[in-house]
A and B are shown apart, each in its own frame.
Chain A
Amino acid sequence: MDMDWGYLFEVSLTSVMGGGLYALAGLAFVMVYKATRVVNLAIGEMLMAGSYLFFTFAAMWALPLWLAIPAAVLASGVLGAVIERTMIRPLLGEPPISAFMVTIGLGSVLVGLVEMIWSADQRRLPDFLPTQAITVGDAFLAPKIFWGAVIASVFITAVLLVFRYWRGGVALRATASDQAAAYAVGINVPRVFSLSWVVSAMLAAVSGIIVGSIGGISSSMGVFGLTVLVVVIVGGLDSVLGALVAGLLVGLVEGLAGAYLGGEYKLLATFIVLVFILMVRPYGLFGTREIERL
């Protein structure tokens, strides 16, 4: 078969950029898992909640974008804090499966709320990404995907820097590393848990807004979370680097499968990657292997 290298390049580039959104949502997931060991299956629905909040502020209340976006992100942060305080905090000390089940319930509750408030219809978000075509060499890139990837990488970088140098980031990593010791050095561990949910919800909202402005929003957009789960499992549940690399990898695999095999093979391809990675590295690409001193 004659290979169209230009097409391959274009598809790969677009897919990797689309993967940037998976990376951002994966980061939101890892944030909570690392700090609190809660597997948040509602990550897709939190993404959806963020995009609907944006829809409300921008389309229904007609706020200007510079106000609507931060407002949606902040409101999502509040939502994250409420979820943590009312649903997760009471389960402190319970087996992990309890919190896990609660997040499944949380997903359904969020879908239900969205359908009650905004109905189940598909909606369009106001266009705010530039629409001028982007070309790299001969490759043509959809502008929304390009700018979505740019925004995602800006946020990812910001989060990484903040958690590297800000003292609260040290507290979060300390709590993730050894909870009892975190208490013993005076860190307010419950507040760190709360912080991780707030940040996670805000990151999910950012990705939700971008995903929604690319493909529209609906009450079923939570299925995006399914792919995010693949991403974080492939990357290793507690690894930030893993979420980033796996996000791009899964984006690439999904894009290639979609372009060469057809859209219905996208999920199949990503789950094959998942099965393969789990066979080779059960803890994911960068999942924790404890530092061992011999």
Chain B
Amino acid sequence: MTQNATDLVLEVNNIEVVYNKVVQALRGLSLAVPRGEIVALLGSNGAGKSTTLKAISNLLPLEDGLLASGHIRFAGQDTARLAPQQLVRLGVSHVMEGRHVFEDLTVEENLVASTYALSGRTNAAKPDFDLVYEYFPRLFERRKGLAGYLSGGEQQMLAIGRALIAQPTLMLLDEPSLGISPKLTEDIFAIIARINAERATSMLLVEQNATVALAVAHRGYIMEGGKIVIDGTAERLASDADVREFYLGMGGGGEARSFKQLKHYKRRKRWLS
């Protein structure tokens, strides 16, 4: 690794994850998030992207998953023995796939619930509700309403807003674009980029929508079958021929082709990384 270890907020080293004691989801995955950067983690369905995030935030046991081997270090500290809530309090906030807002609670109460993330912090952090409402004015308008009645996009905003309350050092974002219109996706990603720039929050961003993800990310990893197959800066990935073909849908000159000509999903094996 070329980078100085102290610059890395998150180091994931050769981890393996097994579900239900039999299904192996991750096979020796390694990645790193440098401080202050957005790192995109891309890959097709079932590649293990969400599993990676759950392994980092220690939410695996809820789904009968187990970190079978490897190490995860957040800010230099091994996280294996930390309960999920302890990890959140240390500064790792996980915005889960499918938003997971508290539907029976109001928007405001959702944010209040997140203030538990601040307990036990040494620097006596106060919850900053205004900050959330500044990034997401829509949430302010609907703060008294039940979160279950928000639109999908608004729920995603609330999920990110909840994480913001926790004032995280590292934000894990799992598919913020899931089920959201392209226009709203654009807005949300613009805000993600703003949060990263203005608050120096490091981010690990899981996405299926590689185009929007690589547009905001500094660097990226591409996963396949439970491990990393390609990594590099966002510009390099966006111009890589394979990535363009398989993840950005821009292969072979870009003109429309008929399904007859579509070549089989075949790929060079990559043994590097």
**Residues of A in contact with B (beta carbons under 8 Å apart):** 93, 167, 170-171, 173-174, 176-189, 290-291, 293
Contacts and interface: CB of A to CB of B under 8 A. Distances in A.
Interface in B83-119: 83-85, 88-89, 93-96, 100-105, 109-110, 112-119
Given A177-B102, A291-B146, A293-B151, A185 B113 contact: yes
Given A186-B89, A187-B85, A291-B148, A181 B101 contact: yes
A69 to B, nearest CB: 32
Contacts, number: 90
Contacts of A291: 103-104, 146, 148-149
A182 B57 CA distance: 13
B80 interface: no
Contact of A293 (B57, B93, B149): B149
B219 to A, nearest CB: 25
26 contacts: A167-B112, A167-B116, A170-B105, A171-B113, A174-B113, A177-B102, A177-B105, A180-B59, A181-B96, A181-B101, A182-B102, A183-B84, A183-B85, A183-B88, A184-B88, A184-B94, A184-B95, A185-B165, A186-B116, A186-B117, A187-B85, A188-B116, A189-B85, A291-B146, A293-B149, A293-B151
Contacts of A93: 61, 64
Contact of B116 (A173, A177, A187): A187
A84 B261 CA distance: 63
> Chain A binding site: helix, strand, loop or mixed by DSSP?
helix
Most buried by B among A171, A173, A177, A188: A177
A182 B59 CA distance: 11
Interface residues of B, number: 39
A116 B152 CA distance: 58
Contacts of B113: 170-171, 174, 182, 185, 187
Contacts of A170: 105, 109, 112-113
Contacts of A184: 57, 59, 84, 88, 93-96, 100
B148 A293 contact: yes
B164 to A, nearest CB: 11
Contact of B88 (A167, A171, A174, A186): A186
Contacts of A173: 102, 104-105, 109
B67 to A, nearest CB: 16
B162 interface: yes
Contacts of B117: 185-186
B38 interface: no
Most buried by B among A93, A170, A182, A290: A170
Given A170-B105, A174-B102, A180-B96, A185 B148 contact: no
B166 interface: yes
Contacts of A174: 102, 105, 109-110, 113
A186 B96 contact: no
B23 interface: no
Nearest to B88: A186
B104 to A, nearest CB: 5
Given A173-B105, A189-B85, A291-B148, A183 B59 contact: yes
